[in-house]
Amino acid sequence: MIYRLNDKEVNIIIGKDVLNNIDLNNDRKYFIIYQNNVWDKIKIITSKIKNFDIYNVPDGEMAKDVYVALNIIKDMVKKEFTRKDAIISFGGGTVSDLSGFLASVYMRGIDLINIPTTLLSMVDASIGGKNGVNFQGIKNVIGTFYQPSMIINDTSFLYSLPYNEILNGLGEVIKYSIIMDKNLYNFLINNKEKILKLDDENVSYIINKSVDDKMKIVLSDEKETNGLRSVLNFGHTIGHAIESGSKLKIKHGFAISYGMICETKLGVDLNLIDDKIFEMVEKIIKFYEINIDKNDIDLSIALNSLRNDKKRFGNKITIPLPVDIGNYKIFPIEIEKIEKAMIECLS
């Protein structure tokens, strides 16, 4: 699938072993940024290119420290990378966030190819052009919007992914299904076993649908200027607070899944949406057993995070809610009401 944004084309390729069949331009050098857990797969890339350097980043959120980014720039300068060369991101969302930032600033921008290896990154982090690095413990406080030219979603990489990481990615897939894709919702309900067994056809289908759903929104609001992209934040207001309140012990996809339950319940209590919708949201998340342990959450940290939400405008935060499965509306809601809903939902 090729998506045309203002000044760029993004080519997204999805399927089992698709990386094997892709030719990479050998007239330039590649700087491959990877994390340890995918080291055994790196040959699939390096066997295709003549000229490359590789850079190993720490696992998890540590990869996104701004000092890691600066060290990589130092290394790229030393190895004489120029604007006609390219960065390849090989790993989960932490690697694509870091690589996207680097590609956007190195010599004012060089080409970027994302090869995500987690489900979360395939369906969310590596697409859409948002990136970010962390500074002084503040997540994504430095970042840009910068589109990769190519995203290669090779589903065979998911076989080695821990089961929890699959559920983590499914949280975002479920989000797209509830808020904007009823067919995907029904597919998830009807094909759980095959999806969880990573059956290629089924997994490729849900990745395709998620990528297309997200890209439709990105095409309408690439840089978050007209508010349309905010629909992607369903479940994320309370979800982020849960993630922070657990000091990142609860993974993003799990936190936003519970966030979707809490925010939908809030919508019902405020008479904004029907109780039937809440039941369907709760049903699919419980069906996939995407559970959190509430004991992992420090409520005061979660409340503090909610009050400092960067989407807050005055006393309100705009929250997208499903008015039907596959259909949403955006509602500005007072912070006190969200706080109260979160306390009730987490107790």
Ligand X SMILES: NC(=O)c1ccc[n+]([C@@H]2O[C@H](COP(=O)([O-])OP(=O)(O)OC[C@H]3O[C@@H](n4cnc5c(N)ncnc54)[C@H](O)[C@@H]3O)[C@@H](O)[C@H]2O)c1
The verdict on whether 249 is a catalytic residue reads: no
The verdict on whether 130 is a catalytic residue reads: yes
53 vs 85: CA distance, rounded Å: 11
Judged by CB under 6 A, the number of residues near ligand X is: 28
Q: Is 59 near ligand X (CB under 6 A)?
A: yes
Q: Which of 4, 43, 78, 108 is catalytic?
A: 108
Helix H, strand E, coil C: the string for 254-309 is HHHHHHHHHHHHHHHHCCCCCHHHHHHHHHHHHHCCCCCCHHHCCHHHHHHHHHCC
Q: Is 161 near ligand X (CB under 6 A)?
A: yes
Which among 53-61, 255-263, 280-288, 293-301 is the span making contact with ligand X, rule CB under 6 A?
A: 53-61
251 vs 33: CA distance, rounded Å: 23
Q: Is 35 near ligand X (CB under 6 A)?
A: yes
Out of 104, 117, 210, 244, point to the residue binding ligand X (CB under 6 A): 117
Q: Is 65 near ligand X (CB under 6 A)?
A: no
Q: Check: CB of residue 323 under 8 Å from CB of residue 329.
A: yes
Of 59, 48, 55, 64, nearest to 32 by C-alpha is 55
Helix H, strand E, coil C: the string for 114-167 is EEECCHHHHHHHCCCCECCEEECCEEEEECCECCCCEEEEEHHHHHHCCHHHHH
Q: Which of 172, 222, 243, 263 is catalytic?
A: 172
CB of 95 to ligand X, least distance (A): 6
Report the residue number, 8 or 340, with the smaller CB distance to ligand X.
Answer: 8
Binding site for ligand X (CB under 6 A): 35, 37-38, 59-61, 64, 91-95, 97, 117-118, 120-121, 124-125, 128, 130-131, 157, 160-161, 165, 168, 252
Residues annotated as catalytic are: 108, 130, 172, 214, 224, 229, 233, 236, 240, 252
